[in-house]
Amino acid sequence: MSVKKFIAANWKMNKGLVQSQQFAEEIRAYYEKHKISHIDIVLCPPYTSLEAVHRKINGSGIKLGAQNMHHESMGAYTGEICASMLKSCGAEYVIIGHSERRQYCNETNATINKKVLKALDEGLKPILCIGETLQEREDKITEGVIEEQLKSCLSHISEEQMESIVIAYEPVWAIGTGKNATPHQVESVHNFIRKKLKKMYPDDTAEKVRIIYGGSINPENAKELFALETINGGLIGGASLEVQSFIEIINSTH
Ligand code: PGA
């Protein structure tokens, strides 16, 4: 089954209001001029720019995502942001379980599962990040790690809910390092993920789930990656900060 490709920009802790709005304006102009409809494009700015970016892209077809959320609905969690707040800013998607959050904020598969469940409950679509570390790859336990992440992070997710989830395979050693996984490496893990999803869900549900790749994607390597049918799009960090390189990546999906 062929699914619509999905490209998300993860700006991480970059861009203030002015830069965020400028980027959103420029990408909207390009998107509308070229009548892009063959892929889903999602911008994931920092929390502080969500609403402003939403105003700029509203009605264009470009979608908004956040980079994280808390797993509770609301309450005394100073400094945290919940799903309904993200929705009220116009977010449709939310990145959950990014390896930087696993690494620096001690997020575990169990907390990530709570976030995925809450996001779905509140009507947000999770972009669930999974992936092995360099040590795990060298120890040849990549598949075991991925399987455990899938099982734990997707615990109690119904068949219907699964269709709203995008899975981002992001090998930790390829993120922000300039060292991207080869198409062959990505393809082999993506096939493994699809196989596991088919064990967990009916085939037609598992086939609808988009499995995207993230890790040092840039305008030079994007075409080769996106040419593969098993790679349903990308989660772009560094190369999504400049409009021009992001546009080149979007164009690599043809
Ligand atoms: P990168 O980041 O493209 O800068 O490697 C990707 C990500 O962390 O989602």
Is the CB of residue 153 less than 8 Å from the CB of residue 113? Answer: yes
Q: Atom of ligand 1 at shortest distance to CA of 217?
A: 3
Of residues 98, 107, 132, 136, which has the active-site annotation?
98
* Statement: residue 29 has pLDDT above 80: yes
- Residue 88's pLDDT band (cuts 50, 70, 90): very high
Q: Is 133 left (phi over 0), alpha (psi -120 to 50) or beta?
A: beta
Locate 165 and state its tokens. Answer: 């989830």
pTM above 0.75, yes or no: yes
Q: List, as one string, the DSSP characters of 131-189.
A: ---HHHHHTT-HHHHHHHHHHHHTTT--HHHHTT-EEEE--GGGTTSS-PPPHHHHHHH
* Statement: residue 254 has pLDDT above 90: no
Q: What is the pLDDT of residue 72?
A: 98
Binding site membership of 95 for ligand 1 (Cβ less than 6 Å): no
Binding site membership of 176 for ligand 1 (Cβ less than 6 Å): yes
Q: What is the pLDDT of residue 2?
A: 80
Round to whole Å and give the CA distance between 246 and 90: 22
Q: Identify the three-state secondary structure at position 93.
A: strand
Please state the rounded mean pLDDT for residues 143-168.
98
* Statement: residue 145 has pLDDT above 90: yes
Distance 236 CA to ligand 1 centre (A): 5
- Residue 187's pLDDT band (cuts 50, 70, 90): very high
Distance 98 CA to ligand 1 centre (A): 10
Q: Atom of ligand 1 at shortest distance to CA of 180?
A: 5
Locate 100 and state its tokens. Answer: 């930087």
Q: Atom of ligand 1 at shortest distance to CA of 10?
A: 9
Q: Atom of ligand 1 at shortest distance to CA of 177?
A: 5
Distance 120 CA to ligand 1 centre (A): 24
58-63 contacts: CB < 8 A, separation 24 or more? 58/90, 60/28, 60/31, 60/32, 61/31, 61/36, 61/37, 62/24, 62/27, 62/28, 62/31, 63/92, 63/93
Specify whether 170 is catalytic.
yes
Binding site membership of 212 for ligand 1 (Cβ less than 6 Å): no
* Statement: residue 176 has pLDDT above 90: no
Distance 214 CA to ligand 1 centre (A): 6
Among residues of the chain, what percentage have pLDDT more than 90? 96
